[in-house]
Structure 1
Amino acid sequence: MKDLGELKYFLRIEFSRTTKDILMNQRKYALGLVSELGLAGCMPSSTPLEFNHKLTSTMFDECTGNKDSVEDTPLDDCGKYQRLIERLLYLTMTRPDIAFVVQVLSQYMHSPKLSHMEATLRVVRYIKGTTGLGLFMSSNKENELVAYCDSDWKLL
């Protein structure tokens, strides 16, 4: 066996370690994804998905006779959408903030539409603005879960 030194980068995950904590992120992987898609010059999105954004499948549109689906055509190349979702799924290892949206978008991998691709690109634009986010693990021995929420959020 060899001692390779302190862990810094493994399986496209960056590790920043101090005596008190560890930060894991995929900054380099996320920036590579953004530049590969040609979105490096675009404005970042503030949220991964629009509020109340409704996504429907092609089968649902056929059964309901949805008139809004005239402009929302199925994609010619499903492979491009599927590869993008695969890359986003890998990114969810250290980015729980996009895990729900990516899971919802992955439900349409068998027959994606233009609206699905646009929503997926919005997730990538969100990632562009938040590349430094990751998982933070403290070394204190307290078994405590800390969560943050928007204090302005109200039930209607």
Structure 2
Amino acid sequence: MALSLRRFISSSPGLHHSSGQVCRLRRALYGLKQSPRAWLIKYANEVIHRVRLTDTKLSDTPIELNVKLNTTDGVPLDDPTLYRELVGCLVYLTVTRPDLAYAVHVISQFVSAPRSTHWAALLRILRYLRSTIFQGLLFSSTSSLDLVAYADADWAGDVNDRKSTSGFYE
């Protein structure tokens, strides 16, 4: 148990500690149904506050309908470090927030050379996250949990290289 807790602490985002330190838990990490939700809501809030969004704008969707981001629109960012870090944080959040998956996939294509249009798309995702912070998936103990799969594809939909994009969700 101690080894698995050490791995959890060392791999936990936002938890800083020195080597050789031991963490004393005030509450149980496991066993409570609200534990993962509390951890991820706190993590999502930290990601939102990292950008210091001061406006009150909210977004109903994580990405604009039919948006076509490319590598040439907008101005290159002076320092792409924050963009890259935030995209990584959002990728981590897609584990429990599948509604963010497509939008994060789109902006993650530009981490090598992000531009102002990509930054605006990232801010929209964060505004959507802020407006839906208390929403999540609920699996009732009485639900049938039937396996349902969805698939979609486009044909040459990427404006940069005309490659097709496909995906599935089970």
| TM-score range for the pair, normalised by the shorter chain length | 0.5 to 0.7
Name the structure where strand makes up a greater proportion of residues: 1
Change (3 A) 1:52 1:32: same
Question: Of 137, 146, 149, which aligns to 1:135?
Answer: 137
Q: Segments of 4+ in structure 1 off by > 4 A?
A: none
* AA of the residue aligned to 2:136: G
Identity of aligned residues (%): 38
CA contact (8 A) 1:44 1:126 kept: yes
Q: Compare relative contact order (CA 8 Å, sep 6+) and give the higher one, 1 or 2.
A: 1
CA distance in structure 2 between the aligned counterparts of 1:92 and 1:74, rounded to whole angstroms: 26
Q: Which runs of 5+ in 1 are unaligned?
A: 10-14, 18-22, 59-68, 148-156
**Aligned residue for 2:161?**
none
1:101 aligned to 2:100?
no
Cα deviation per residue 1:88-113 (whole Å; 9 max; x = unaligned)?
11111110001111011101111111
Is 1:46–2:94 an aligned residue pair? no
Deviates more, 1:35-44 or 1:127-136: 35-44
Partner of 1:16 in structure 2?
Answer: 34
SS at match of 1:134: coil
Name the CA shift for 1:52/1:142 in 2 (closer, same or farther; >3 Å): closer
Which AA in structure 1 matches 2:34?
S
Q: 1:122 Cα deviation (Å)?
A: 0.5
Aligned residue runs from structure 1 range 24-39, under 5 A: 24=37, 26-39=40-53
34-43 vs 123-132, which deviates more? 34-43
Q: Which residue of 2 aligns with 1:89?
A: 91
Q: Which amino acid aligns with 1:110?
A: S
- Structure 1 CA distance, aligned partners of 2:93 and 2:81? 18
Q: Which ranges in structure 2 are unaligned for 5 or more consecutive residues?
A: 3-26, 150-170
Residues 1:146 and 1:42: Cα distance change in structure 2 (over 3 Å): farther
Query: Is the 1:108–1:116 contact (alpha carbons within 8 Å) kept by the matching residues of 2?
Result: yes
CA apart distance, 1:5? 4.8
Normalised to the residue count of structure 1, the TM-score between the two structures is 0.67
* Corresponding residue pairs, total: 124
Tell me how far apart the structure 1 counterparts of residues 102 and 94 of structure 2 sit (CA, whole Å): 9
| 1:115-154 correspondence runs (5 A) | 115-140=117-142, 142-145=144-147
1:86 CA drift (Å): 0.4
